[in-house]
Amino acid sequence: MRERNFKALQQQAYDYIRERILNHDLSYQQTYSESKIAADIGISRTPVRDAVHRLYQEGLVDIVPNKGFILHKITQQDVLELYEVRSAIEGYCARKAASDISSPSAVQLLSQLKTSLEKQNQLHLSSQDTEIFAAEDQNFHKILVDYSGNETFQGLFNRYMYQLKQLACSSLRHPGRMEHTLCEHQNIYEAIQQGDPGLAYEAVSVHIKAPLDMNLESVYEEFP
């Protein structure tokens, strides 16, 4: 019972800190005390400390010994590793979907991707809001990864969602990038629809590589 309660408190602390990170409530310029957060939540420091270690493993924070933690600043190495992980995972998922094109699950996948494309097109034509578009961009890729049914792939994708959205927002601010992103997503959809595994894999590779240089350049400009 005590272990169950501890895990519940650890999850509470994790959810609290992660939500504040995702909502941009925390600053890159500040060191955060585990004791202060524990007091804010109304729990002991130990589950907060364990939650911070979990967030560290997910690349969201860096631990400052004897002081607390700071937000993790995305580095060029992070960008390159994310590119490689995404290329491997999403390329495989697209190829699998194209190979299974005659199956009912692939038909459902195409329907979901098409719905996402329609939402992206509406956003492109109307608001041009990079934050909202980036969220739907992320949804498009999550649909593809979820299709694989591979829990390891899904776990890795979910782990990097925050960093992926940060980088997507950064690249989408470049003139024309939103339109190009939409076109690249359309190419992925059509390659899967045609049942061409090689073309689907290539379409994903082209799409993921397209903003790479933009993201490498923006690391020190936007995440100081």
Given this model, what pLDDT does residue 217 score? Answer: 87
Map out the domains of the chain with their CATH numbers: 2-71 (1.10.10.10), 76-222 (1.20.120.530)
Kindly state the DSSP code that residue 135 receives in the 8-state scheme. H
Residue pLDDT, tens place only, 103-129: 999 999 999 999 999 999 999 999 889
| Cross-strand bridge partners of residue 62 | 70
- State the average pLDDT over residues 5-19: 90
Residue 23: both structure tokens together:
């909502």
- For residues 177 and 167, the answer to whether their CB atoms sit within 8 Å is no
Residue 220 pLDDT greater than 80, yes or no: no
Residue 224 pLDDT greater than 60, yes or no: no
Given this model, what pLDDT does residue 141 score? Answer: 97
Residue pLDDT, tens place only, 48-82: 999 999 999 888 999 999 999 999 988 999 999 99
Nearest Cα neighbor of 211 from 161, 158, 168 is 168
Residue pLDDT, tens place only, 24-51: 899 989 999 999 999 999 999 999 999 9
Residue pLDDT, tens place only, 174-189: 999 999 999 999 999 9
pLDDT band at 222 (very low <50, low <70, confident <90, very high): low
